[in-house]
Amino acid sequence: MTTAIFIVIFARKKWWIDLNGKTKGPFVTMDGAQQEAIALASGFAKDGRRAEVQVAEPGEKRRIVYQSSDIGMLGRAAALTNH
C-alpha cells in the first residue's frame, strides 16, 4: 500500500502544501499549512489509506510531523531487540 506524503514547503514567501505535484495554499504561516496538511492526511487515514505529513523548512532537513499508520513490523522488531 502506498503512502500519501503531504509536504509543507516555503516558496514565493508563503507556505504551501504539496501532494504529488498538486498544491494547496498559500498559507501565511507554517503552522496554518501544517494543521491543514494534518487534517487532509487524517481524512486519508479515515478511508483506510496511509498518509504522512512532512515539513520542509528553508535550510533544514525535512521532518515528519504526522503519520497515520502504526509502526511497521520491522520497527517493532527493532524496538524489541536488546541493544
Give pLDDT tens digits for 16-71: 999 989 999 999 999 999 999 999 999 988 878 899 999 999 999 999 999 987 54
For the four alpha carbons of 71, 75, 80 and 83, in that order, the dihedral sign comes to: negative
Rounded to an integer, what distance in angstroms lies between the CA atom of residue 74 and that of residue 72? 5
- pLDDT at 27 (0 to 100): 98
The reported pTM is 0.78
Model confidence pLDDT, tens digit, residues 67-81: 987 545 444 444 444
**What angle is formed at CA 59 by the lines to CA 62 and CA 66, rounded to 5 degrees?**
20
The set of cell numbers assigned to 61 is 532537513
